[in-house]
Homo-oligomer: A and B are copies of this chain.
């Protein structure tokens, strides 16, 4: 006799206990649904007695907020600012903005007036100027994609004074008090990259690391952390590889040709290249046009150009950090905080996806997941 089981589950049916509604809570607490609503949304104008009574009921029963009904009956309005580096199609920040837009669609009846500010992430002066402008804008909340630490700290101070809630995407900034942040753990990211690259190249070889040059001699927050994670891995695991740090200029791209030529015309053997920003495809293309072969490459972010380079075999590993997810949940969290005063989880680290030419075709860019 062979084992086999049949389980009958009448879901949402008899087995599931009756779903409780606002009106049920109201009856139990001996008040009207309006009062329950006021308590649940922290709207005030409720007597101490009524509040206590409702909170007591709320502790006992397991009320599950119905997002479907909310979504159609919401009527509130908010002004929300989004401040990020400039967006170009198919690139990293475009994905974050996509995610933000999708969150707005989920609560389509909430009237959100979005004001988007962008700055040049390679130019500290552009960032300062944009932040200055933002500081004077009237708003209910702001989502910030930070690059320069000190500038962001200043902006946040002014937001704190005005009691305007802010959420970070892409990177958390210390010495600020955001409502939440949605970001990769960049230190671990660098650490993982080091592990991946050293696992596929011989000992005692050179690794060239490219990182973006910025005005004001200030590195992006993310790059600093990734670099730290990278070197810490090598140190911790007693790796014998040598690191060559190469600057990479986005604002003066003609310089890069020079850096690269200098690198590859030196006597050094370079079996591995690591790119800590999302511009890996530029270097991949340089290698291709200059017929340099046999170099292993690990790069960041699933930009259209990087994906193409991965598929062509120019790049070996791409690391993704779910930018759509970051944008989506930053905005969704902000909306639910504003509308429902929903408690917020502050730390939100996103996935680090490892993509190769084999699994890239199956990768879903979150947009696909939601719709």
Contact = CB atoms under 8 A, between A and B. Distances in A.
Contact of A5 (B69, B113, B117): B117
A174 interface: no
A289 interface: no
21 contacts: A2-B120, A2-B123, A2-B125, A2-B129, A3-B86, A6-B116, A7-B115, A9-B113, A9-B115, A11-B114, A12-B104, A12-B112, A66-B72, A68-B69, A184-B362, A185-B362, A191-B358, A199-B200, A350-B362, A354-B354, A369-B369
Contacts of A49: none
B4 A133 contact: yes
A101 interface: yes
Interface string A1-31: 0111111111111000001000000000000
So how many copies of this chain end up in the complex? 2
A108 interface: yes
A361 B200 CA distance: 23
A25 to B, nearest CB: 18
Indicate the size class of the contact surface on chain A.
35 or more
A111 interface: yes
Nearest to A113: B10
Contact of A117 (B4, B185, B363): B4
A359 B351 contact: yes
A67 interface: yes
Nearest to A329: B369
Contacts of A58: none
Interface string A115-143: 11111100101100110010000000000
Given A3-B120, A353-B359, 11 more contacts: A2-B120, A3-B86, A4-B119, A4-B120, A6-B117, A7-B115, A13-B112, A188-B359, A192-B358, A350-B362, A369-B369
